[in-house]
Amino acid sequence: MFKVTVATGVLLALTACGGGEVASDDAVLPDSLRRGGTVVTAYHAEASSMNHFSSVDDNALELQSFVLFTTLVRYDAELRPVPYLARDWETRQTRDGLVLTFRLRDDVDWHDGRPTTAYDVEFTFDRIKDPATAYPQSSLLALYDSAVVVDSFTIVFHLQRHPGFIDPWTIITPMPRHVLGDVPPAELAHHPFGSVSPLGNGPFRFVEHRPGDRWIFEANSDFPEPLGGRPNIDRLIYRVIENPTTRLGELLDGEVDIYISVEPSQVEAIEGHPHRRVIAYPTRAYTFVNWNERRPFLQDARVRRALTMGIDRQQIVDVVRDGYGVLAKGPVPPFHWAHHEELEPLPHDRDGARALLDSAGWIDTDGDGVRQKDVVEASIELRTHPNPTREDIMALVQSDLAKIGVEARLRVQEAQSLRRDITSSERPFDAFVLGWQADFRLDDRIIFACSQIDGPFQWASYCNPRVDEILDQVTRMEDRSQALPLWHEYQEIIQWEQPYTFLYYDVRPNGVRDRVRDVTMDIRGTFINVQNWWLASDSKR
């Protein structure tokens, strides 16, 4: 039932060769010799805040979950929820819903020495449910009704039955009530807690934040042994270095130990270095071209299929990602349990594409190289935001489409201005290249449901009642084996109707110095086993 496919064969090959650890007798090394040292990581973007109530970016959420705070539940490598801050949980069905009881560990302390209790969880729950807080992901707990503290380490939630009800607790990190309890909800986002003085309960303590520059954490020696205990390294530094060449220089130079999200073109330089390695893992992101079906040219599913078949997607993966990507076939990426294994991506077939366009009535009658129907030209404006990879993708798409008689005019638009255009209910655009991140608990109604047609994310203006039906049903079905056929049908329909041209599922290479040992990274993130990282003893600093 919990069948989870982490990756396709290509991905496995990539991770296997990249993630291979340095062969040595490391395994027999006593723990005490693994202790000590500082690991410096570098990423291109700042982690906005350690205040969970105002965070929405992945970097911040990941540092919160794995470094500074603890979540009640974690995913294991197969993406099954397992206990973490919660010792265990049990559910009881009632007439109108579900009662969920968490028993918390009693040995996890805030870094000022106070215990983390059910009252902290209750406080966090209350603030999330309070609209005045404006907690970004409040929809996580939309079907939760109330919380009751039974004793200091037991909390009971009343909720409506829904699949994946436990998943929010892999994201939400309880916040300290004794620090933030008196802050009015509307002022929580601006509280100095987030940037100046966060107080956590995780494996690392907060030391210092230099905004836009670095976060510094140090090992929490009181972290309970059953949760992994004190981290091996003494300090963890998260640096913000925007320019990729600089990040590469710092990694090769030895100032940075882990370069998060290497540009694919830099992989060769890193692998060429005798003491650096590359660890690649698939992320939840995919890249696509969105077609606006309100445009006459893009209304016909045959046309959209033709566009997809006309675009050489493998070439895009090879050129812009140096192969670090997997040809995409739909909105359910390979990490997700409902991913359709047997479905093949539409072939790259120019003749087939031309035939489809002909059959849809788009023919180049005036011989200018661009097809038309009645008085409408097969010409679209293709947009993206300033981003070298996506700009390259646009250029490749443009040249591919020209070969099947479709004209694409390219436009790079400032990010917020593009966001305004695409989220506007008028949909004043033809097509654009963007990325999307699939959640572990996937709900695609927001992007493809008819009811969302004027909503901010229904960019394709795609509407198919059968898809609506399926998406409604799968979000209610608790039995995965029952939902799987519906998920498959959904992926088949989307492939046939191509509201998007799905380009590739991202694979992210990371550069790691050899002295940092036992680093594991996967779909769950970069810092998932940061507690186990250790530094080879001859090179500690």
Partner 1 sequence: MTAYIGRRLLHAIPLTLGILTLVFVLVQLAPGDPAALYIQPNVAPEVIEQMRENWGLDQPIHIQYFQWMKSFVTGDFGYSLAQHRPVTAILADRIPNTLILSGTALLIIFALGIALGIIQAVRQHSALDNVLTFGSLFIYSMPSFWLALMLILIFSSKLHTVGWWPDWLTFPPSGITSSVGYESLGFWGKLADRLHHLVLPSIALGVSSAAAVARYMRSSMLEVIRQDYIRTARAKGLPERAVILKHALKNALLPIITLFGLYLPFLLSGAVLVETVFAWPGMGKTIVDAIYARDYPVVMATSFLFAVMVVVGNLIADVLYAVIDPRIRYD
Quote the least distance from Cβ 268 to partner 1, whole Å. 14
CB of 237 or CB of 408, closer to partner 1: 237
Looking at beta carbons only, is 372 or 461 nearer to partner 1? 461
Query: Taking Cα atoms as reference points, which of 443, 467, 469, 472 lies closest to residue 457?
Result: 443
CB of 399 to partner 1, least distance (A): 28
Report in angstroms how near the CB of residue 6 gets to partner 1 at its nearest.
Answer: 23
For partner 1, give the closer residue by CB, 224 or 254.
Answer: 254
What residues line the site for partner 1 (CB under 8 A)? 38, 40, 48-49, 51, 54, 56, 131-140, 186-187, 189-192, 194-196, 210-214, 235, 237, 239-243, 245-246, 248-250, 252-253, 255-256, 414-417, 419-420, 423, 436, 439, 446-447, 456-457, 541
* Least separation in angstroms between CB 37 and partner 1: 9
Nearer to partner 1, 88 or 242 (CB): 242
Collect all residues with Cβ–Cβ distance below 8 Å to 258 and sequence separation of at least 6. 39, 40, 41, 42, 510, 511, 512, 513, 516, 519, 526
Report yes or no: 62 and 528 within 8 Å, Cβ to Cβ.
Answer: no
Q: Please say which residue, 80 or 190, places its beta carbon nearer to partner 1.
A: 190
Q: Which is nearer to partner 1, 80 or 210 (CB)?
A: 210
Min CB(373)–partner 1 separation in Å: 33
State both tokens at 15. Answer: 């991770």
Per DSSP bridges, beta strands 379-384 and 407-412 are parallel
453 residue type, one letter: I
How far does the chain reach from its first CA to its final CA, in angstroms? 47
d(CA 422, CA 522): 32
Q: How far is the CB of 342 from partner 1 (least distance, A)?
A: 28
Residues 6+ apart with CB under 8 A from 8: 326, 334
Between 313 and 390, name the residue whose CB sits nearer to partner 1. Answer: 390
Q: Which is nearer to partner 1, 140 or 521 (CB)?
A: 140
Bridge partners of 103? 88, 154
- CA neighbor of 500 nearest in space, from 351, 397, 369, 364: 397
φ/ψ (deg, to 5) at 512: -130, 135
Closest approach of partner 1 to the CB of residue 54, in Å: 6
Q: What share of the chain is helix, strand, coil (3-state, %, to 5)?
A: 35, 25, 40
Cα 138–chain centre separation: 17
- For the bound state, the minimum distance from the C-beta of residue 411 to partner 1, rounded and expressed in Å, comes to 15
Q: Phi and psi at residue 171, in whole multiples of 5°?
A: -110, -40
Tell the smallest beta-carbon distance from residue 508 to partner 1 (Å). 19
Task: Specify which residues 38 forms β-bridges with.
Answer: 235
**Closer to partner 1 by Cβ: residue 252 or 536:** 252
Report which of 533, 505, 527 is spatially closest to residue 43, judged by C-alpha positions.
527
Pull the structure tokens for residue 462: 């795609």
